[in-house]
Structure formats: structure tokens, C-alpha cells
Structure 1
Amino acid sequence: MMKTGYCSAVFLSLLALVLVLLSFVGVNPEVPKQVPYRFTGYLSWLPKLEGYDDNMLDAATLFNIITMLLSSYYALKWAYNPPTNPKLITRFYSAGDRDATSSPTIDFDRALAIYIVTTLLAGAALFFVGAGKIWVAVGIFHNASEFIILIMLGSGGKIKSSSSTFWPILGFYIFIISITCTLFKFPYDALWFKGQGLCFDWALIIEFTRIYLTTLHELKHGDANDDLNELIENEDDSSHQKSIIHHPQQLLLLIFGSIFHILGNIVFTVFIHSFYAYLAFSFSYCVAYPLYAYYIYLDFHVSSIYPQKRIYLPETPSWKVAAISIFSIALSLLTIRLGLGWPGAQWGPLKLQMEPMEL
């Protein structure tokens, strides 16, 4: 019965992928004409944007960079100066495996901080060189950070120093994406980079949601509920910190951050000709990554009603890895498919138009 459930999950994810691929049949989009980027003169991946305004773009970019700078600074400060009070240290536990050794979330928070920094660098590079082959040299590290976070969450919350395969795989991924984006002609280079990046974006939403639901279930109904409640009863009330969170609600910050990030990508993918959609994409970063930084703050500076903050990582056997990976690919292709419109339409037919108001 269990094996049937495993096969059904993989089959449904494959079915979703096939249905999305079939939706591309009959679509013959017109490839958008590239325009030179204003600083470098190189052809950009982006078409001419309707309603484009240099002044508005520079204002939005400056605000974005300032927001990301502050988020990066505080995220690194908090992540690399963890508290000494054990009550403030959150620990990862493996759901369903009581014998598994727990690990502190310090490495995960540091990976999250590095993710914010690499996104800042990618955003700054995007402003100076524009979206294109040159930008991939920096933008790939944004995606690599997402890859590290996903592997970390699937490995008990940390990358084992004894692992001899992870870092070569990461290096191989960076090398392959960089080389292929350099060699592929437009628009295949842009679609390839966009597609593989969206896979990680969707996978993060899925994983953060799974972790939140698993932790919520384990704290309320799991085996750990009894011993945690016993520790609460035996603990002196005077030892509680003044700042208390309703653990594990802080995990919602990770979910909301990943959702805002993917929403910005979806809006600009669908309305690829609209300058206002590009602004929405830019401003989504100003929301998503401060949420990630705030999560790091809460993880290290706030206690909970429990004597120990625990995050339970869901079990992820090979069949679940396959199902999540295939479904993430399907969602990535679906996002790109929405940007192509429907059969008989041209590339990016849904154009978000905003006419200036007459006073």
C-alpha cells in the first residue's frame, strides 16, 4: 500500500510535467527583439519595455540596493554572532527519527545570510551590466545559494564536512550553467537560465511549507509534545525571556519571503513587455529578503514558550526528492508558459499597460 502511494506521488508529478509540456505544442512565439543595455551597449535579454523611464528605474534600483545592503549587513551580523544562551538557539530535529542527532540552526542561518548577500551582488550587477550573458557570472551564485539551502534542509540542517560529493556537485552546477548560458544563443540562454532558477524558487516554497507544517504537527501531536510540556512545567517562570514568539510561527517569514520572490518573477515573466511589471519584480526583493533577515533575528534573539525552539525537518526519501524535483520543474515551465500566452498568441501577449493620469 505504501509503495503504491509512493508511485502515485511520482506519477502525479510526472503527469503534471507532461501536461505542462503538452501546453507548449502549437505555440510559435515571436522572439522579442533585444535592445542594447544603456551602460554596456551589449544586447540585453530584456525587450523594449513599454513605459520605460530611466529616472523611475534608478530610483527603484537605489531603494532596492539600500534595502538589500541593510538586510545583508544585519543578517551577517546576527548569523555570525550567535547567542550563548542555549534557550535562544533553535535546533533542527528529524521528524519520525527520535534517535537522530539534532543540530543547531546556526549553519542554516548563515547560509540564509549568504543567500541575501549573493542576491544583493546579483542585483547590483544587474543594474551595471544588465540582464545577459555577463550578468550570469554573478547571478549564478544567487541560484547556487538556493541550491545550498535546499541540500542543507534535506541533510538534517547542515552540510556534513565529511561529504566528498556536495562541493564538487555545486562547482559542477555553477560551471555547467555558466558555460551553457555563454554558448546558447538568444533566447535559449535566457530561457535556460530563467527556467533552472525558477525550479529552485518553487522548490524553496515547497520545502519551507513542508517544514512549517511538519514542525507544527510534531509540536502539537508528535512524540516530543509530552517531554516539552514536562520541561515547561518544571521550569521557573522567572527564567523566561521578555521577548517570546509563538514558535514556530517565525517559519512563516521564510514562506512569505519565498512567495514574494516567486510572485515578482511570475509578474515580470507574464508581463515581460511592461516596465511596471519590471518595477514590481524589483520591489519584490525589497520585501522578500528583509523578511529572511528578520527571520534570522528572531531565530537568535527571541525565545518561545518552550524551553527549546525545535524545527522538525520532514522525512525526504528518494521518491519524495524525485516528486518535489519533477513538480518544481513543472511549475517552472508553467511560469514560462504563462509568459508565452496561449496558442496562436505571440511572446508575452499579456501586456500590463498603465496610462498616465490626466490632471
Structure 2
Amino acid sequence: MMKISSCFAVFLSLLALVLVLLSFVGINPEVPEQTPYRFTGYLSWLPKLEGYDGNMLDAATLFNIITMLLSSYYALKWAYNPPTNPQLITRFYSAGDRDATSSPTIDFDRVLAIYIVTTLLAGAALYFVGAGKIWVAIGVFHNASEFIILVMLGSGGRIKSSTFWPILVFYIFLISITCILFKFPYDALWFKGQGLCFDWALIIEFTRIYLTTLHELKHGGANNDNLNELIENEDGSSHHKSFHPTILHPQQLLLLIFGSIFHVLGNFVFTVFIHSFYAYLAFSFSYCFAFTFYTYYIYLDLHVSSIYPQKRIYLPETPSWKVAVISIFSIALSLLTIRLGV
């Protein structure tokens, strides 16, 4: 049975969602007029941008694509060529469960690299075909990568259920087909809304992981005694550390938080100021920062040691009621972002 505190948390999240939904009551938003995209001629989801400068847009897009290309290359290179030194391998542990089996973070790093690549493809497609129904065929894989990351982190760092992959395929088909069938602006709102849910959920989940890891390392917990044993037993092999840079573990997790924040910030600014060309530039540049952070995180996760003999990331416990709270709050924040732009 759920405790009173758990029920109260679910109630608060539902209350927040209801309040956001009520804010839509009585408004009569003006649907922005679609404009034909310059390369395809198809009507784009984007309205005419105030202050538009094609030269600036092309320069920003080229810079964005080059940055994403470099990020994708190095992310794949590092994630698919992991080190053999055990001191460089980070491992996921379940906070509060000392009997849980740990797993290396290599699979997570690889999914993060794929996330960067799918974002590169989505960004390139956005330039050539514009934001619209055609672009959804590529953009949906960016969101699917976020879905995989969230499920992986909620499953102890490794996806163990074989039923997840049919669910993922169903999600891709559902989003693609509905966006094709829905008329404007519902297709754009539907795709934007569900994508923002994942974006906000990543911020919440990365922050939870960072705070949980800090707590376990500083104040102890179910696995703290194991870590102390490692520190005592590994003194003789400490010479390995001299060959590698050392980080103040787990501060590298801040890169995941900053990356997710920049990603949401760019989407937030352009959603709220959808008619502004400079808001669109901010949206474009946010990807350069966000996914460079993710790539650098992969490098640190696989190439540096820490003050501990083993780098450990403690994943917070996520019972069903917490999954519900995170999901509901993510939906509420997504709808609130859209509401501010209406």
C-alpha cells in the first residue's frame, strides 16, 4: 500500500496538472499562419519570423551541424571503445539495495551517443525539409532516444525487459502516424507537447541521480560499507591513478543536468516567443551547448579516474508512485511551456 506521503505527492502532481489545464480555459489563441518552407515549398509548422535573416540562419545552422558532427563522432568513438582499466569504468548501483547487482555505465554511454547522433540527423533534416510532417519521420527518433534513456535509468542502468522494445516501436509508429493524420496546428502541438515531456523528465531524472549519488557517497547508505572496503583493499593498486586524470566524482553528472537544462531552455524560449527569429537562433544554439556537454560527459565517464577506487553512480529508487509523479509533473511542465506561448 502507498504511504500517506506517497499519496500526497501524487495528489500534488495531479493538482499541478489540473491547474495548468484550467489555465487553458477561456483562451482563444490565434493560430499562426503557416509559411511555405524555402526548399520544399510545403507549409511549415513555423510562422513568419520577425527579424528573419537568411544569412544568419544559414551560418547558425552550419555551425550547429558542424558542432553536432564532431560531438557525434567523438561520442561514438569513446562509447564504443571503452577502457579496460577497471578504475576507469563507472558502475551503476541501486541506492538502498545492497543486494542489487551493479552494471557498468557503458550501455548508458552508448545510448547517450546514439541520442546525440539522432539529434544531429533531426537537426540536419530540420534545415533541409523544415519543421513539419516530413521532418517527424526523423525527429521522432530523437524523442525515442530520450525515452530509452529514461527507461534505462529507471531499470538499474540496463533495459532488462524484452517487452520494452515492442513498446518503443509502438511509440514511434503512434507519434509518426498521428502527426501525419492530424491537421495543423494539432500535429505541431502534439509532437511538441510529447517531446517536451521527455525533455523535462530528463532534467528531473538527472537531478535525482546526482543528488542520490552525492548522498550515498557523503552520508553513507546500503552500499557505503562496500565502498569503504574497496578503499582499504585497493591501496596497493593506487599507482594506476597516476596514469589518468582524476575528477571530483560525481561532479561530472552536472554535465548531464546542464545539458538537459540547455536543451529545455532553447525549446522553452522558442515555444514562448515563437514569432521571434532571435528566439529561433537561441533554440538552435542551445543544441550546440547541450550535446557538447553530453559528449564531454561520455569522455569523463570513460577516460578519467576518481578519488575512489571505483566510480559509482547510485540510481534512486523509483517505485510506481514516483514514476507517476515524475510523469505527471513532466506533462504539466510541458503543457505550461505551451500555455506560456499561446
TM-score between the two structures when normalised by the length of structure 2: 0.97
Aligned: 1:12 with 2:25: no
Identity of aligned residues (%): 88
Name the residue aligned to 1:239: 240
Code of the aligned partner of 2:198: F
- 2: distance between equivalents of 1:144 and 1:239? 39
Cα 1:240/1:164, change in 2 over 3 Å: closer
Code of the aligned partner of 2:245: S
Consecutive unaligned residues of structure 2, counting only runs of 5 or more, are none
- 2: distance between equivalents of 1:287 and 1:238? 35
- 2: distance between equivalents of 1:230 and 1:170? 41
Aligned: 1:206 with 2:204: yes
Q: Secondary structure at the match of 2:100?
A: coil
- 1: distance between equivalents of 2:133 and 2:171? 16
- 2: distance between equivalents of 1:128 and 1:280? 19
Q: CA deviation at 1:67?
A: 0.2
- 1: distance between equivalents of 2:140 and 2:133? 11
- 2: distance between equivalents of 1:18 and 1:47? 30
Q: CA deviation at 1:303?
A: 0.2
1:121-136 paired onto structure 2 within 5 Å: 121-136=121-136
Q: Secondary structure at the match of 2:328?
A: helix
Once the two structures are superposed, residues 99-142 of structure 1 have per-residue CA deviations (whole angstroms, 9 ceiling, x without a partner) of 00000000000000000000000000000000000000000000
Name the residue aligned to 1:79: 79
Name the residue aligned to 1:26: 26
Name the residue aligned to 1:282: 284
Among residues 156, 177, 180, which one is paired with 2:178 in the alignment?
180
Name the residue aligned to 2:142: 142
- 2: distance between equivalents of 1:222 and 1:334? 38
Name the residue aligned to 1:220: 218
Once the two structures are superposed, residues 69-128 of structure 1 have per-residue CA deviations (whole angstroms, 9 ceiling, x without a partner) of 000000000000000001100000000110000000000000000000000000000000
Q: CA deviation at 1:35?
A: 0.3
Code of the aligned partner of 2:38: R
Q: CA deviation at 1:238?
A: 2.6
Q: Secondary structure at the match of 1:93?
A: strand
Q: Secondary structure at the match of 2:199?
A: helix
Once the two structures are superposed, residues 201-255 of structure 1 have per-residue CA deviations (whole angstroms, 9 ceiling, x without a partner) of 0000000000000000001112333442343344144332341000000000000
Among residues 272, 275, 281, which one is paired with 2:274 in the alignment?
272
Q: CA deviation at 1:10?
A: 0.4
Q: Secondary structure at the match of 1:66?
A: helix
Q: Secondary structure at the match of 1:311?
A: strand
Q: Secondary structure at the match of 2:3?
A: helix
Consecutive unaligned residues of structure 1, counting only runs of 5 or more, are 341-359
Name the residue aligned to 1:346: none
Q: Secondary structure at the match of 2:314?
A: strand
Name the residue aligned to 1:313: 315
- 1: distance between equivalents of 2:207 and 2:8? 21
Name the residue aligned to 1:36: 36
Code of the aligned partner of 1:182: I
1:339-354 paired onto structure 2 within 5 Å: 339-340=341-342
Once the two structures are superposed, residues 170-194 of structure 1 have per-residue CA deviations (whole angstroms, 9 ceiling, x without a partner) of 0000000000000000000000000
1:151-166 paired onto structure 2 within 5 Å: 151-160=151-160, 163-166=161-164
Q: CA deviation at 1:164?
A: 2.6
Larger mean CA deviation between 228-237 and 60-69 belongs to: 228-237
- 1: distance between equivalents of 2:47 and 2:193? 18
Among residues 251, 254, 263, which one is paired with 1:252 in the alignment?
254
CA-based RMSD of the aligned residues comes to 1.1
- 1: distance between equivalents of 2:153 and 2:89? 17
Code of the aligned partner of 2:241: H
Name the residue aligned to 1:356: none
Q: Secondary structure at the match of 1:70?
A: helix
Name the residue aligned to 1:343: none
- 2: distance between equivalents of 1:54 and 1:239? 53
- 2: distance between equivalents of 1:166 and 1:227? 32
Name the residue aligned to 1:98: 98
- 1: distance between equivalents of 2:226 and 2:156? 21
Name the residue aligned to 1:297: 299
TM-score between the two structures when normalised by the length of structure 1: 0.92
Once the two structures are superposed, residues 284-339 of structure 1 have per-residue CA deviations (whole angstroms, 9 ceiling, x without a partner) of 00100010000000000000010000000000000000010000000000000000
- 2: distance between equivalents of 1:240 and 1:228? 17
Aligned: 1:70 with 2:70: yes
Name the residue aligned to 2:51: 51
Name the residue aligned to 1:337: 339
